[in-house]
Amino acid sequence: MASKFPTVSELVSEARRLYSQEFGQEEHPTVAVCAPGRVNLIGEHTDYNQGFVLPMALPLVTVVVGGPTSDLEVTVVTNSEDVDEPRRMCFNMHGDGSQLSPGKPAWANYVKGVMHHYRARPLPGFRAVIASSVPLGGGLSSSASLEVAFYTFLQQLNPDDGDKVSKALACQQAEHTHGGVPCGIMDQFVSVLGREGHALLIDCRSLKATLQPLEDPQLVILITNSNVKHSLTGSEYPTRRKQCEEAASVLGKDSLRDATMKDLEDKKDKLDDVTYRRARHVIEEIERTTQAADALKSRAYKEFGKLMVESHNSLRDLYEVSCKELDELVAAAMEVEGVFGSRMTGGGFGGCTVTLLQAPAVDKAILHIKERYSGTPTFYVTSPSEGARVLSLA
């Protein structure tokens, strides 16, 4: 059935065990924090067009335990087997931690990036252990959950002013400068600001985030990992961004957020077919996302599901970021009674789908998708969860 993922307290226990193993049986962490991965319910490839997105925080989290040292030595260990070696990284800060360059191992760059962009100085040396239940590279944003968890950890060593939006932006910067990914703001925002029982409608232009209640025992959000990742991901993302900028410029707008379908139709003959289709996806997807947020408010799940399917079809046909595996998973999910809607989620070319369905239909849906899918999927039965938080070590 669905993949059983460890609870937060199980992850903390695992991290504590690893801490003693790495630093000595007498050594114990004094701080524990966690930050969630996320799934985007709707609003795909809209964030870098200044549009709306509607993600929620997941019960899948990255935990960091550790504590300060009296020198400038930093040692960080991850329990993940899916990273480049070594899994233990040590260095001396030689200063206040504000001038750290990316290097090897690659996974540690997320930690260095967060230290580099952290908003209070000085930072003490520290020891830390990472344990995570977010699959790495699966499109559920293990990278943002690691950044935000680490930022939350540093807040316990030397507090900043506590401003949450600035925290999310600093973590986004870490991903840009040290992770090498020019991501939008969605992942870090929802990892910081997500709340249990709520999705988060984010206006990526004003950075205003509005909580949308999404708590219904009759409802399940099923995530299906296709467990494929096509190599197109890296190269296609900047191409899409450029096409959107080009379209906005032809329409005489700062971004596609400011454009309507009428604007686009009026200038259709000035755009090549591909650029037109990219822009159409973005303009319609931004509209769909605000409609979906309204549908959620009135618990109109059928309407929400319909918008999810429209979103998927648009990502497949107009934006061309889906793939055979994701299309198969969505088609299979939609064949099950009790399913409201399903779509690819995240950047595309692999990764996960998200499906909204009636709780009693979940076992049937999992069986059916498994049977119909040509690959080997992993399932997560989830509900909207809490953003980054400090945990008790008691």
Q: What are the residue numbers of the active site?
A: 187
Q: What does the buried/exposed string (b/e) look like for 301-332 if buried means 16 or more CB atoms within 10 Å of the residue's CB?
A: bebbbbbbbbbbebbbebbbbbbebbbbbbeb
For the bound state, the minimum distance from the C-beta of residue 165 to ligand ADP, rounded and expressed in Å, comes to 21
Q: For residue 218, give both structure tokens.
A: 């009759």
- How many residues touch Mg ion under the rule CB under 5 A: the total is 2
Secondary structure of 118-182 as H, E, C letters: CCCCCCCCEEEEEEECCCCCCCCCHHHHHHHHHHHHHHHHCCCCCCHHHHHHHHHHHHHHHHCCC
Q: Smaller CB distance to Mg ion: residue 333 or 388?
A: 388
Minimum distance of Mg ion from residue 118's CB (angstroms): 19
Residue pair 163/190 in contact by the 8 Å Cβ criterion: no
CB closer to ligand ADP out of 1 and 106: 106
Report helix, strand or coil for 117.
helix
Q: Which of 40, 133, 143, 289 binds ligand ADP (CB under 6 A)?
A: 143
Shortest Å distance, C-beta 226 to ligand ADP? 13
Question: With DSSP H G I counted as helix, E B as strand and the rest as coil, what are the percentages for the chain, rounded to 5?
Answer: 40, 25, 35
Closest separation between CB of residue 36 and ligand ADP, Å?
A: 12
Residue 62 binding result from ligand ADP, Mg ion, none, given CB thresholds of 5 to 8 Å by partner type: ligand ADP
Stretch of residues binding ligand ADP (CB under 6 A), selected from 41-49, 78-86, 365-373, 380-388: 78-86
336 token code pair: 């099950």
Is position 62 an interface residue for ligand ADP (rule: CB under 6 A)? yes
In angstroms, rounded to a whole number, what is the distance separating the alpha carbons of residues 38 and 28? 30
Per-residue contact flags (x/-) with Mg ion for residues 127 to 166, judged by CB under 5 A: --------------x-x-----------------------
Of 46 and 132, CB closest to ligand ADP:
132
Tokens representing 278 are 């990219």
Binding site for Mg ion (CB under 5 A): 141, 143
Binding site for ligand ADP (CB under 6 A): 62, 78, 80, 83, 106-107, 110, 130, 132, 136-143, 146, 181
